[in-house]
Amino acid sequence: MKEKLTRNTGLKILSLALAFLIWVVILNVDDPATTSTIKDVPVTRINENAIISRDKVYDVVSGETVDVKVKGKRSIIDKLKKEDFRAVADLSKLSLTYAVPIDVSLPRYPEVEISQKVMTMEVNLENRITEQFRVDVVEKGNVAPGYYISAKTARPNIIQVSGAESVIKKINEVVVEVNVTNRDESFGEKEIIPKVYDKNGSLMDSSKMTFNFEKVDVSVTLLNTKTVKLWVEIKGTPYYGYEFVGFDYEPKQVVIAGKQEELDKVPYITAVYNINNRRADIEDEIDIKDYITEDVILIDENQNAVINIDIEKIESKEISFNSNEIELRNVPYGTVATIDNSSLVYAKVSGTKGELNEISKGDIKPYIDLSGAGVGTEVHNIQFDSSIKDKVSLSNPGISVTLAYDD
């Protein structure tokens, strides 16, 4: 029996080797080895504190993903996905040239050969700085008609932002946005995420920064509004020899805001402008806020009223008329009145240049009132029956008049 088992040993070994070779050939025909490249395998970064502890921040220049070349059985290679790989960059191993080695493994399929053994991530280092910024509340939309946003408060109202110096220096403002569309009462919003804008008004990537407060609470206060008339009152007297002619101003009405009970107390606004001792036309502005109470606020686009005041120098001219052109009024019954002086009478008329141009002799209308006069000769004052009598003066205001009985 032993002899049968040991007989032709060489032939048996050769047969076994041949069988194994055939098995390998068959196996490779059915499931041959192949190579493939898996693209964009994400790289996980570890030990970031090794950089942060040096008050530095980093930015990946290249190596956030890698393309991995693998070799193995087709049955495995064909079903590989990038999620099957583990690519790790240990930032504690950062070189002097700011390169970090990337270690790639395939935990589920250790039999698969990874061809690339040297892969690196390149980073850029910058100083890490922190700056403070005010938090501005920006409303989106419009409140309901008849309402006004009087206050927008952020809590906290100051935020510290940290990051790369080149990034932080670009920040222009930090804002939180709140929707106020059709709101008609005061309200608050919780946990709004701040947004950061650069000096060009472009939204910045907040993922490259850290905030000491990640979210902000906002409260918005609304007030009622009211449109009221604006009156301007002129006070004072121009410089001697000058006259106030007229004025105009804009706007004639403004919009105010406040609690309804306070608005009800304001039927209109009266502003005052003093022209005391002025001797020329005036172009000026009036601060409307100076003439409203503290319980309401001026929300009109016109915070100032523009006023134009005409002030002209008083001039004069003489108008002459004959004494027989003077009307004698209220002559006592039974008497006859005669003016003894037949010479010219001169009236001095004062006013602005424009007024004097419109005054003629027919506007003077001189007369003497003889009510209560007795018979004989008396000097009587000449009076003027006209709308300009306060602008007329006489060089010889008195004139002799004789009263005699009528035969």
Contact criterion met (CB below 8 Å) for 314 and 350 = yes
For 287-316, write each residue's pLDDT tens digit. Answer: 999 999 999 999 999 999 999 999 998 888
Kindly state the percentage of the chain with pLDDT values over 90: 63
pLDDT in tens, 160-204: 999 999 999 999 999 999 999 999 999 999 999 999 999 999 999
Whether the predicted pLDDT of 281 surpasses 80: yes
Architecture in CATH for domain 315-405:
Beta Complex (2.170)
Quick one: 224-313 is in which CATH superfamily?
Answer: YbbR-like domain (2.170.120.40)
Highest-confidence range of 70-84, 117-131, 251-265, 337-351, by mean pLDDT?
A: 251-265
CATH architecture of 134-160+169-223: Beta Complex (2.170)
- Across the range 125-149, mean pLDDT stands at 95
Q: Is the pLDDT assigned to residue 285 strictly greater than 60? A: yes
The mean pLDDT of the chain is 88
Whether the pLDDT of residue 14 is over 80: the answer is: no
The residue-averaged pLDDT of 256-273 equals 96
Residue 13 pLDDT level (bands cut at 50, 70, 90): low
For residue 343, pLDDT over 90 is answered with no
In angstroms, the CA 178 to CA 189 distance is 8
CA distance to 69, 377, 380, 384, per residue, from 369 (Å): 127, 14, 8, 10
In the chain, what percentage of residues exceed pLDDT 70? 89
**Is 315-405 in the same CATH topology as 224-313?**
yes
What residues does each domain of the chain span?
A: 1-30, 34-46+58-118, 134-160+169-223, 224-313, 315-405
Distance CA 211, CA 70 (A): 42
Which pLDDT score, from 0 to 100, does residue 361 have? Answer: 79
Residue type, 327: E
Element housing 391 (H / E)? none
Cut 0.75: pTM above it: no
Pairing of strands 304-313, 366-369: unpaired
Q: What is the pLDDT, as a whole number, of residue 17? A: 64
Mean pLDDT of 373-402: 77
pLDDT at position 26 over 90: no
**Closest of 312, 313, 344, 314 to residue 326, by C-alpha:** 344
More confident residue, 156 or 17: 156
* Residue 310 to residue 246: CA distance in whole angstroms: 5
Higher pLDDT, 242 or 323: 242
